[in-house]
Structures are given as C-alpha cells and as structure tokens.
Amino acid sequence: MRDYLRTHEGEMRLVVVLAALTIYLSFASPIFLSAGNLASLLNNNSVNVIWAVGLLVVLIAGGIDISFAVGASVAQYLTALALISIGGGNWIFGLVFASIFGIAIGCINAALIAGFRIISIVVTIATFNALFGLLMFTTSGKSIYDLPDWWTDRIAVASLGSGGALTLPVAGMVAAMAATWFLISRTTIGRQIYAFGDNPEGARRAGVATVKIQFIAYGWTGLMAGIGGLMQVNLAQEVVPNALIGRELDVLAAVVLGGARLGGGRGSVLGCFLGVMLVAIVQNGLNLLGVSPYAFKMLIGLTILAAISLSNFDLGALLTGGSRRRGHVDNH
C-alpha cells in the first residue's frame, strides 16, 4: 500500500481534489449527491472512460491517437449497417462487429506509424481527416434511427437508489477498465508496452518486438473506440455520423490529467477514470450551481491547466527554500 501511494502520487492527488470537490458540491447543491445525479454522471461519462483507457495504452507506448473518436463513428456506422444487413443481430454480434471494425482502424494507424515510421500525431491527424471525410461523403451525413431494439433499450445493471439506475454502458466501462488494467499491469505484453514507450531503443535492444507492440497498442485503442461507439448508441438511441467529433481532445485532456505522460511510459487506468470524472464533476457542479454554460469550457480549461501545473510543481522544493540544482540534467 505504501508503495502504491508512492508510485501513484498523481492519482492520489486527483482523489484528494475530487473528494474536496465532492464535499463542496454536496453542501452547495442538494441535488449533487442524489442517486439520480450520480447515476447520470456515470452513465453519461462511461463512453469517455472507455475511450480514455483505450487511448491510455497508446500514450503509454509513447504515441498519440487523435483519430479514435472518428474511428468510433466509423465503427459505429459500419456496425449499424452490418447489423441491419443480417436482420438485427444481438449484443454478441454488435460486440464482434464493433470490435473488428475498431481494431481494423487501429491497425491502419499502426501500419502507417510502425511500418512507415511516421510520427503518430501526423498519422492520426491524417486518418482523422480521411476517415471523417470518407464517412460524411459516403453517408451524406445521414443519421440512422431505425436500429435494433436490443441496441437502444435501456438495461439497468445496478441501482444507486430511487431514480438512480446504472445502465449497460457503465458495465461496459467497468469491463473496459478491468481488461485494460489486466493488459497493462498483469501481462508481459503490457509491461513491454510500458518499456517501449519509456525507452524505445532500450526495448528494441532487449528483444522487444517493437512493431508487434505498436500494433497491439493501436489495436487496443481501436478496440476500445469501437466498443465505446457501440455503447454510445445505447445512450444516444441513434447513429449520427458527426456526433462524436471533438470528443477526442476532451478525452485526451482527461487522460493526461489522470497522469499519463505524453511521450510514453507512464499512466494508469485509475488515473483515466479520475481524470474523466474530474472534468465531468466540474461541469456537473457548474451546471447545478447555475453558472452559464458559456463559461464551462473556459473553467474546464483552467481546471486542467491548474491540475497539470500543480503536478509538475515540486511543493517540497518550494518549502525547503528551493535548493534544487539548476542545470541538473536528468540523463536518458
């Protein structure tokens, strides 16, 4: 436990901030701690968390993926078309289709990044544009409303009390978190993903199959994008091709807020969850306190800036008189 606190200092800070915020909001607004509000917080943010843990794996591997939200839209649309063409299907078919389409899109990114050695941000900005253009062009922006009933029916998986039912996407979120945690913390593949992001050359010399590792990382992000897209239909009751655009940056910010390092080698599933929830609770709180929605984005931006600056800020050094050595180089 002591080790956990030491190696997860960032997550612990977020827990403290979240706890303080929760206590404040529970006094400031009677609705905040109500079962209905908490359940809708979790229901509405479950998809972001699924995407966040997917993105996390690529960030740990030292890459970045801007295209996953568009990827989710494409996978969602293709899944809808595939399900309609087989006459409806069920959750199993939905999961299989969404996973296959999602992984395929992730593998396109991996092939470009690992195969052609192009920097990941450039590749995924390109695939973001290409996929979005392709989707809008081929669908003419048409939404699909006539979806199988099993897909749009609300399924309560747990209750927080009266009016507070957690729906299927929350179960999806929990499963995605557990699977991602298992992958990155409990399997040798996961540890090689960390190592590759931390020191690619060192990993290569140690015999890590670096191309395979990147395919797994981007494939995982694609898988989570697909599953997130599938779950999002359950929340939204419709497939709208451009509905998910723009959420990639919110999720990226939340993952970084949760302690993942742009540049690789660091990040955790718990951090992702906390990062997404912090942004969500700030927004929810502002809403309940009656702050103008026009101020949301600004305040959330400031929250992220404050949290990230604080985590880079060595409080200890400040208190002991700032005797940190200048010009100290952290080699390698």
Site of interaction with other proteins (CB under 8 A): 3, 6-7, 185-192, 194-195, 198-199, 201-203, 205-208, 261, 265-266, 323, 325-327, 330-332
Q: 92-97, long-range: CB within 8 Å, 24+ apart, which pairs? A: 94/150, 94/151, 94/230, 95/227, 95/230
CB of 208 to other proteins, least distance (A): 6
CB of 11 to other proteins, least distance (A): 14
Q: What CA–CA distance (Å, rounded) separates 120 from 38? A: 37
CB closer to other proteins out of 163 and 202: 202
CB of 331 to other proteins, least distance (A): 6
CB of 206 to other proteins, least distance (A): 6
CB closer to other proteins out of 2 and 117: 2
CB of 170 to other proteins, least distance (A): 28
59's enclosing H/E stretch is helix 35-60
**Residue position matching structure tokens 């990040």:** 267
Sign of CA dihedral 308, 313, 315, 316: positive
Q: How many CA atoms lie within 13 A of 70 on its CB side?
A: 19
CB closer to other proteins out of 47 and 208: 208
CB closer to other proteins out of 117 and 326: 326
- Let me know if 80 is exposed, middle or buried by CB neighbors in 10 A (0-12, 13-18, 19+): buried
CB of 107 to other proteins, least distance (A): 18
CB closer to other proteins out of 13 and 261: 261
CB closer to other proteins out of 98 and 203: 203
Q: What CA–CA distance (Å, rounded) separates 264 from 60? A: 4
DSSP 99-127: HHHHHHHHHHHHIIIIIS---HHHHHHHH
